Amino acid sequence: MKRALISDIHANLEALRVVLDDIRGQGISEIYCLGDIIGYGPNPCECLDEIMRRCQVCILGNHDQAALFDPDGFNPVALRAVYWTREQLENGPGGRTRVDARWEFLGELPRMHVEGDFTFVHGSPREPTNEYVFPEDIYNHRKMDTLFGLIQKYCFQGHTHIPGVFTSQMEFITPEDCGYEYRLTREKTMINVGSVGQPRDSDPRSCYVILDGDRVIFRRLDYPINIVSGKIYATESLDNMLGDRLHAGR
């Protein structure tokens, strides 16, 4: 089955719409979201509405969780964005019924989704919501062996905003390294699908993955960053660095 895997939208409506249009253009109707629909960005309600309408599977991200419960481990910039996001969700468009529907959707998101050999999480197979798996973790064999031991065969995740493939041979393969397409073998593999709304691999273009049989295809797309950063700069509770980093891609 051909599926699109998106993650880390972070309330970036312009990026999300570009990605959704590209997915539609690829003839794909099955979309899985791996979390962090909201947080950092200026359009949490609108992004939630798009995900609720378009995605068949959605996983809880740490920023989604932070909107529901007391945030844990957030820096001051992220914390201010969380509190602002809560206000937007509570006073969002569509009246009380729509506001309640968004909260209910967030509150019912699962921490993990498993389909046979395929595991889908936001963070890692050990701690689905909050654990980061960075490229440099390939040198931490104890950590990686533990994570690989927790999956059947393949795990797709987000959270770091850095796309790429982790092999059980302790390699990290960037999209550029594999020509933006990686073939799954029978070896255990973890794939980070990158970020739609806030890439951090020094490439500011949106990133998502198409899963087509054994093919993992990384897609990079330009979107109107100036529009999004302008909204952030105009919002007092969102730090200017959240707009700056969109242009830098890190």
pLDDT tens digits, one per residue of 12-21? 999 999 999 9
pLDDT > 70: what percent of the chain?
Answer: 100
pLDDT the model gives residue 234: 97
pLDDT the model gives residue 238: 97
**pLDDT above 90 (res 1):** no
- What is the pTM (predicted TM-score) of this model? 0.95
Q: What is the mean pLDDT of residues 60-85?
A: 93
What are the φ and ψ backbone dihedral angles of 245, each rounded to 5 degrees?
-70, -25
pLDDT the model gives residue 72: 79
What is the dihedral sign for C-alpha 206, 167, 124, 52? positive
Q: Which neighbouring-strand residues pair with 57?
A: 32
Instruction: Return the axis-axis angle of helices 76-90 and 95-107, rounded to nearest 10°.
Output: 130
What are the φ and ψ backbone dihedral angles of 121, each rounded to 5 degrees?
-140, 175
pLDDT the model gives residue 73: 83
Q: Of 25, 242, 211, give the one whose Cα is nearest residue 118.
A: 211
**Residues 6 or more apart in contact with residue 108 via CB below 8 angstroms:** none
Give the end-to-end CA distance of the chain in Å, rounded to a whole number: 32
pLDDT the model gives residue 71: 85
CA 63/CA 231 separation, integer angstroms: 20
* Assigned fold of 2-248: Purple Acid Phosphatase; chain A, domain 2 (3.60.21)
Q: Count Cβ atoms within 10 A of the Cβ of residue 38 and give its class: 0-12 exposed, 13-18 middle, 19 or more buried.
A: buried
Q: Please give the single-letter amino acid code of residue 158.
A: G
Assign 183 to helix, strand or coil: strand
pLDDT tens digits, one per residue of 162-190? 999 999 999 999 999 999 999 999 999 99
| DSSP element (H, E) containing 47 | helix 44-54
pLDDT the model gives residue 70: 82
